Amino acid sequence: MKNYCMAALCAALVSHVPALQAQTTWKLATGYSAESFHTKNIMQFSRDVEQASRGKLLIQVHPGSSLIKLNDISQAVQAGKVEAGETIMTSMVKEIPLAGADAVPFVVGSYKDAQRLWQLQRPGIEKHFSAHGMKLLYAVPWPPQGLHSTTPIRSVADFKGTQMRTYNSTTLRIAELLEARPVDVAMADVGKALAEGRMDNMITSALTGVENKVWGSIKYYYEINAWFPKNAVFVNSRAFEALDPPARSAVMKAAQEAESRGWSASQALAGSATEELRANGVKIDRIPPDLDRVIKRMGEKFSQEWVRSVGKEANDIFVPYYLKP
């Protein structure tokens, strides 16, 4: 009788214990350091998802290429080796040419312009991500690319014969159009190249200038906002669809908040980095109106060439962009 009563009591207690919720864990690979503002934003995104899903979905963030190398992350997510990842969109142009809009120079001149371009670019990017077995979660820009120079720049003629750092086909073409001499210098070697007099100018962000402490040689920084390269955060489509509807909603809500927060953080960082250059003796300036018109014409030329190389989808971005300033 005692055994029967004990069994009945245990059964009653078990019936009142709520069923444990199944927990899903995603690994998210990024090539950027834990100190990067992009990674900090992802960490907050992860915490938001865990809280909103009530612990049903955990996102483990692996920074600094510790899980997958930066250039291999999109392929790893497509293959399901990891559930989610982050990479700079311009690294994906071979498989998704539309991602190259980020690297067309002298088209956008402000965060407002960059946001408008992104809204036009996003539908096509989402479609191509989907075709590659991925779902776009959000995208956040790096601070804009400015012009660092050892000497004042007042006209196109001031570039002629100078040594301009180049690191991809776009910067190489810019140097050629400005009649500067291209110098291939890795970012890690910028300080050494400046100290040795092998570089006179370069186009990169104020943040990169601060990180490399360029003020020993660089005396001028021009806020030309040449382009706003973006990092995309994405997930394997099958992994996303395997979530229940509330968890999917939690992910997308947190992604929307991460995008908004990331854009604000990028803009704040651009401002603080510029002020740090100023505090270290770099003169901060805007280029003269005549030179500004020249680089805007270069932007139109670059965008027309890019549209011809990519096709109708690219046209669908730049035609409305230029028609509705």
Q: What is the residue extent of each domain of the chain?
A: 23-96+110-143+229-278, 145-226+282-323
Max CA pair span of the chain: 102
Q: Work out the number of other CB atoms within 10 angstroms of the CB of residue 299.
A: 18
Topology of the domain covering 23-96+110-143+229-278: D-Maltodextrin-Binding Protein; domain 2 (3.40.190)
Are the beta carbons of 178 and 164 closer than 8 angstroms?
yes
DSSP character for 303? Answer: H
Does pLDDT of 7 surpass 90?
no
pLDDT > 70: what percent of the chain? 93
Does pLDDT of 3 surpass 90?
no
Higher pLDDT, 287 or 188: 287
pTM above 0.75, yes or no: yes
Lowest-confidence pick of 13-17, 38-42, 218-222, 253-257? 13-17
Does pLDDT of 243 surpass 80?
yes
Q: Name the pairing type of β-strands 84-88 and 230-236.
A: antiparallel
Higher pLDDT, 9 or 28: 28
Does pLDDT of 301 surpass 80?
yes
Topology of the domain covering 145-226+282-323: D-Maltodextrin-Binding Protein; domain 2 (3.40.190)
Among residues 153, 39, 43, the alpha carbon closest in space to that of 87 is found at 39
Does pLDDT of 325 surpass 80?
no
* pLDDT for residue 38: 96
Lowest-confidence pick of 200-209, 268-277, 297-306? 297-306
Q: Measure the CA–CA gap between 273 and 282, rounded to whole angstroms.
A: 11
Does pLDDT of 291 surpass 90?
yes
Q: Which residues pair with 58 in a beta bridge?
A: 25
Asked if the domains 23-96+110-143+229-278 and 145-226+282-323 are classified in one and the same CATH topology, the answer is yes
Lowest-confidence pick of 73-82, 89-98, 184-193, 275-284? 184-193
3-class SS at 87? strand
Are the beta carbons of 192 and 165 closer than 8 angstroms?
no
Tens digit of pLDDT for each residue in 156-178? 999 999 999 998 888 898 999 99
Predicted confidence band of residue 269 (pLDDT cuts 50, 70, 90): very high
Whole-Å CA distances, 106 to 18, 97, 102, 224? 59, 19, 11, 8
Higher pLDDT, 18 or 257: 257
Tens digit of pLDDT for each residue in 68-102? 999 899 999 999 999 999 999 988 999 999 999 98
Tens digit of pLDDT for each residue in 110-119? 999 999 999 9
* pLDDT for residue 22: 62
Alpha helices in the chain (DSSP H): 2-15, 37-52, 73-79, 111-131, 169-177, 190-195, 206-211, 237-241, 245-279, 289-310, 312-323
